[in-house]
Structure 1
Amino acid sequence: MAIISEHHIFLSEDANVGLQTRLKDAITRAIWDGRFSPGDRLPATRALAKHLGISRITVSLAYDSLLATGYIVSVARSGYFVAPDAPTRLEVVGPSKIPADERLDWDARLGPVPPALGAQATPADWRRFKYPFIFGEPDVARFPVDDWRDCVRRALGKRHFEQIADDASDRDDPFLVEQIVRRSVSGRGVAASVEEVLVTAGAQNALWIMVQVLFGGRGGSVAMEDPGYPELRNLLRQQGLTIHPIPVDREGMRVDHIPDGVDAVFVTPSHQAPTGATMSMARRKALLDRAEALDFAVIEDDYDYEMSYTSPALPALKSLDQRGRVIYIGSFSKSIFPGLRLGYLTGDARVVDHARAIRTLSERHPPGLTQRTVAYFLSEGHYNSHSRRMRLRMSHRNDVLREELARHGLSPALKRATGGTTLWLRGPDGLDCDALAIALRDKSVLIEPGSAFYSRDDAPKNRVRLGFATIETTQIADGVALIAETIREQVG
C-alpha cells in the first residue's frame, strides 16, 4: 500500500467541465493507467482541496461519486483507499487479422457509398476559421444558456421523470405537441390539431419520413427547386425517384415549369434554399392551383421561418391549403441549435398516422428529455424571446454584409432581403467559386460554392452562398475584403 500525494493529482484545463467531474476523471484515469493501485490511500479532502485551490465540498462530492461507482472505499478514521476490485480499463483484443483478399468483400456486396451530405456541408473544423460565412451553425455566444439549463432541470424533475424515462412506443410528448400547435404552427397561420402533428429528429428526418410515406421504394416522379437543397436531392436519388429540377427566380419556384405526372413537389417558400428568395403570394396560390390541376402533393420545408425581417410575414403554404395537399415541415434545429435535432411535420391526420408508423420502424420517437425540455422552452416564452433577438441581429448583419459587398463592387442576386441568415451572391463572369473557396481557406475564410446546389453538371460557377449567423458583425468587413481581394486575383 502506498500513500498518494496530493501533488500526484492534476485537474484538466477544460473550463467547460465542472471541477467535481474533472477531479473524478483525474482519479479514475490514474486508476485505469495503473498509477494508483488497489489499497493506495488517497489524500485527505482538506489537503487535496487546499492543493488544488478548490472547495473541500467539491472534493468530498467527487469522492462520494467514486465510492458509488466502486473505484474507492472508505475506512472509518483511516480515509479513502483505491478499492481492491476497482474497475479497470478494458483491453480490447480483436480477432487475429487474415489477409485482405480472404475477408468478406463488402465493396462488391454494397457498392459505392451513397452521397449524403452535399459539397456545401460545413467542415468539422469550421471554428478555427476567423471568417466563417457558413449556414446552419449556432451563434452560441448569445444563446440563453441559463434559460435552457433551467428547462432541462424542470424536465428532469421528479414530477416528469416517468414521462421522459418510459418507453413511449410511437407516442410523442403531449406537452410538446400542444406547444407546437399553440405556439409554433399557429404563428404561420396553420390551424392544426394534435392528431395532425408528428415530432421528428429535425427537418431532414421529416423529409426522409415523407419520402418513405409517399413512395416507399415504389419509385415515382418528383419536382424540386434548382438550385435547391443538396441533401434532399441526394435523398431522392438514393430512393430511385425521377427528379425534375424547377428553376427559381426572385419570386421563388417557377411553378409553371412543373411538368404533368409528378407525384410530389418539394419547396422552400419562406426563404428559398439557397437563394433566399421569398415566394410571392401570387406564386403560392399558383402552386396550390397547379397542385390541384396536376394532382400532386406539396412538401413545404419551412426550415427558418423565424428569421423573417418583414412583418407580418407571408403565411405558410399550409395555411392556404384547403384540400389537405400540403405537408408542412418545421425545425427547431436552426432556431435553437443544430445539435438539438428536433423538428416536426404537420399534415392530414391520415398522413401523420402513416408517418408515425414509418418513424417507429427506424427510431420509435425522439428522446423524451429533449422533447420535454423544448416544450418548456416554448411554454415559458424563451423561444419567442430568443427568436426575436436573433431576428434583429440577423437583420442588422444582413445590412452590414450588403454594405460591405457594395463597397467592393459586389452585389447580391436579390436586391431586398425579407429574411433568412444567408445571402446569394452572383460573382463576375469567369469566376470559379469552387477554386475561390479553396483559395479563401488559406486566408481563414469559409464560403459555400454555389455549384453544390445545382442538379446539373454545367451549373454556374460564379455563385456563392454567404451565411452570416455565425460570423461576428465586427468581422464581416475584413472577411468581405478578403473575398473581394481573392476574386480580383482570379478574374482581374
Structure 2
Amino acid sequence: MPSPRSTQWAQLFSLPEQPALPLQGRLRAAVVQAILAGRLSPGAPLPSSRELANLLGLSRNTVTSAYLQLMDEGFLEARPRSGVFVAHNAQPVAAVAAEPLVDRNGQSGQPPDWSVRVLRSLVDQPTLAKPDQWRGYPYPFVYGTYDPQLFPTEDFRECCARSLARSQLLHWTPDFETDDVPDLIEQIRTRLLPKRGVFALKEEILVTVGTQHAYYLLADALFDERKYVGLEEPGHPHARNSFSLRNPKWVEVAVDGDGLVVDALPVVDYLFITPSHQSPTTATLSLERRQWLLRKAELQDFVIIEDDYEAENLYAGAPMPALKSLDKTGRVIYVGAVSKSLSPALRLGYVVAPRGLITELRAIRHAMVRHPSAFLQHAYALFLSLGHHESHARRVNAAMQERLALAAEALRSHLPDFAFRLPQGGASIWVQAPAWVDAAELALMARSHGVLIEAGDVFFVKPPYPCTFFRLRLSSIAAAQIPAGIRALGLAVEELAKARGERRMPSTCAH
C-alpha cells in the first residue's frame, strides 16, 4: 500500500495532459506549476529521481534530465548529501492580468496553439547544455568559453584595429550579397587547408557562421525523410540536431578505439563522421579505415560529410591526413572551423565541396543570413596572414597537453575504478564509470560539489541506461583547478555510492 507521502507526491506531480510535449517537458511543467502556485515553497525538498520515477512510471533518465533543466532555469537547487530542493529565489510571480482581445461582437479571441503550429521543433531534443550561471562553478569541465590566459588579446585587437583603418573599409563595408571576403577565402585555401592535405579552388569554399551553420545548410540542401543518414554512435549531438530538422532516417554506426567501424556500416545515402578526433570518444580513424571508407563510398554510392574536429590539436604522433585529402572522386564534403581554438563565440567556419554544391549552399545562406560578418572575416584574414593563428595554436596545444596530463593523474588518483584513454590531441577526455553509475545522475550530484561534467547520454541516438560514459572538457578550466575538480568529482561519486548502497570496487580496466 503506498504511503501518504508517496500519494502526495503522485498527486502534486501529476503530468498535465499535453500530448504535444514529451514526458520530460510535461514533468517540468508539473514541477514549475507546483512552485509558481505556492504548493512547493522555497527550500522545500523534492523526491529523489529514483522515487519520483517509480511513482510516475517514468525512466530515471527522464526525471534526472527534468531536474537538471529546472536547476538551469533557477527553479531547483542541489545540496551536498541532502538532495534536490526548491531554490530560495523561486518565488511565485504575481501575474499581470492582460485585457483579452475583443472583437466587434464582444467575443474574446483565442491565442494560437503554437504546439500544433510549430512543425520542426528542437526544444526538447537532447543537446549539450550548461547552467545559466555555469561560470560561477569552480570546476567547469564543459565546453563554452575562451581561455583568458591564452586569448591573444593584443594580436586580435591589432587585426580589428587594422580592419577599421580608413584604407581597409572598402574591403569589408560593401554588401557582399552571396560572396565572402576574398582575403579570408585565400587564407583558408592557401594556409589552413594545405596543412590538412586539402587543395581547393576559391569557388569550392563557403564561409559559414560556425560549423553548426554548415550542418544546417547541408541538411537543408541534401536531406529529407527519404534519406538514410549514418551517424557515429556515440556522436556529435549538434550535428544530429541540425540534421534532424529535415527528418532523415538515422543509421547508427559503432565506434571503437580506432574510430568508426567501417565494416559495420550498412547502406546509407550520407555519412557524418569526425575522423580526426572522434566526438566524443577522441579516437582517431586509422589510415586503413579511411581508405576502406572511401572505397566503400564509391562501391555503395554514398557521400561523406567530414567534420575535421580539433584537427589542429595534435600532441603525439604524425598528423593523420584529412579524409578529404584522400578523396579522388569528390565524395567528401569537408567542414572546418576557423576560429574555434580562439573563441567559440566568434562563429567562423567553412565548407569545402564541389563547385555545384557550393553554389547551392551559397544561395541558401543568402536567404538565411546573406553572409557572415564581413568585418570579422576581414579581421580574421589579417590574423591568419600575420601568423597569429599558428602561434596561438602552439600555445593552446602546450596548455592542453599540460591539462590532459593533470587530469589523467588526478583520475588515476581519485577515480581509479573509472576507465579512460589519454587522447593524442583535442581538449577532452572520454571517461567510462563502473557499471553501477549513471552519468546523468552523477552530473546532478557533482553540481552540488561545484563540478560540471558532460553526461554521455546526450551523445547517443539511443542512449543506454545506465549510461556510464561522460566527457571532461578542459578548455574552460584553468590547469590549477583540475586536480581539485577531479577530487571533488570523486566526493560526488562517493555520495552517489552511499545513496545507491554500492561499494566502489577497483576496476580491472586498463587506463
TM-score normalised to structure 1 length: 0.77
Of the three residues 238, 244, 267, the one matched with 1:237 is: 244
3-state SS of the aligned residue for 1:328?
strand
Q: 1:412 to 1:324 in 2, by over 3 A?
A: farther
Q: Please state how far the C-alpha of 1:407 moved relative to its aligned partner.
A: 1.1
Structure 2 vs 1, CA of residues 460 and 317 (structure 1 numbering), >3 Å: closer, same or farther? farther
Give the superposition deviation at 1:165. 1.4
| Cα deviation digits, residues 73-111 of structure 1 (max 9, x gap) | xxxxxxxxxxxxxxxxxxxxxx95438962233233226
The separation in 2 between residues aligned to 1:234 and 1:157, in whole angstroms, is: 41
CA contact 1:411–1:425 (8 Å) conserved in 2: no
Residue matched to 1:186: 194
CA contact (8 A) 1:229 1:274 kept: yes
Greater shift in the superposed pair: 367-376 or 228-237: 228-237
Contact map agreement 2:442 2:492 (CA 8 A) in 1:
yes
Corresponding residue of 1:29: none
Q: Report the Cα distance in structure 2 between the residues aligned to 1:253 and 1:413, rounded to whole angstroms.
A: 20
* SS, match of residue 142 in structure 1: coil
Deviations 1:351-384 (A, max 9, x none): 2112111211111110110100110010000111
Q: Deviation of residue 329 (structure 1)? A: 0.5
The Cα of 1:124 is off from its aligned counterpart by 3.0
- 1:222 positional shift: 0.7
- Which residue of 154, 159, 162 maps to 1:151? 159
Structure 2 match to 1:126? 134
Q: Partner residue of 1:462?
A: 468
- Displacement of 1:163: 2.5
Contact 1:332 1:340 in 2 (8 A): no
Name 2:372's counterpart in structure 1. Answer: 366
* Structure 1 counterpart of 2:145, from 137, 145, 152: 137
Match of 2:226 among 201, 219, 228: 219
Structure 2 CA distance for partners of 1:436 and 1:399, relative to 1, 3 Å: same
Please tell me whether the aligned partners of residues 234 and 255 of structure 2 are also in contact (alpha carbons under 8 angstroms): yes
**Selected match of 1:285 from 277, 282, 291:** 291
SS at match of 2:321: coil
Q: Secondary structure at the match of 2:149?
A: helix
Query: What runs of 5+ residues in structure 2 fail to find an aligned partner?
Result: 1-97, 103-107, 498-502, 504-511
1:401 is matched by which residue type in structure 2? Answer: A
Q: How does 1:6-405 map to 2 (within 5 A)?
A: 97-98=100-101, 102-110=110-118, 113-115=121-123, 118-215=126-223, 217=224, 219-260=226-267, 262-405=268-411
Using the TM superposition, give the Cα deviation of residue 311 of structure 1 relative to its aligned residue in structure 2, in angstroms: 4.5
Cα deviation for residue 302 of structure 1 reads 1.2
Structure 1 residues 171 and 119, CA, compared in 2 at 3 Å: closer, same or farther?
Answer: closer
Give, in angstroms, the shift of residue 346 of structure 1. 0.6
| Structure 2 Cα separation of the partners of residues 322 and 129 of structure 1 | 48
CA distance in 2 between counterparts of 1:437 and 1:279 reads 29
**How many residue pairs are counted as aligned between the two chains?**
397
DSSP-derived class of the 2:379 partner? helix
In percent, how many aligned pairs have the same letter?
Answer: 38
Q: Bigger radius of gyration, 1 or 2? A: 1
**Structure 1: distance between partners of 2:349 and 2:417:** 34
CA contact (8 A) 1:203 1:303 kept: no
Deviations 1:119-165 (A, max 9, x none): 42233322101000012422123201111011001111112212221
SS in 2 for 1:140: coil
Moved more, 411-420 or 333-342: 411-420
SS in 1 for 2:306: strand
Alpha-carbon distance, 1:232 to partner: 1.6
Rounded to whole Å, the distance in 1 between the matches of 2:451 and 2:385 is 39
Q: Secondary structure at the match of 1:306?
A: coil
TM-score (norm 2): 0.74
Q: Which residue of 1 aligns with 2:29?
A: none
2:220 partner letter? Q
Equivalent residue number for residue 26 of structure 1: none
**Distance (whole Å) between structure 2 residues aligned to residue 192 and residue 411 of structure 1:** 47
Question: In the TM superposition, what whole-angstrom CA distance separates every residue of 1:325-346 from its partner, at most 9, and x where no partner exists?
Answer: 0011001242110110110011
Shift of 1:175: 0.2
Alignment RMSD: 2.0
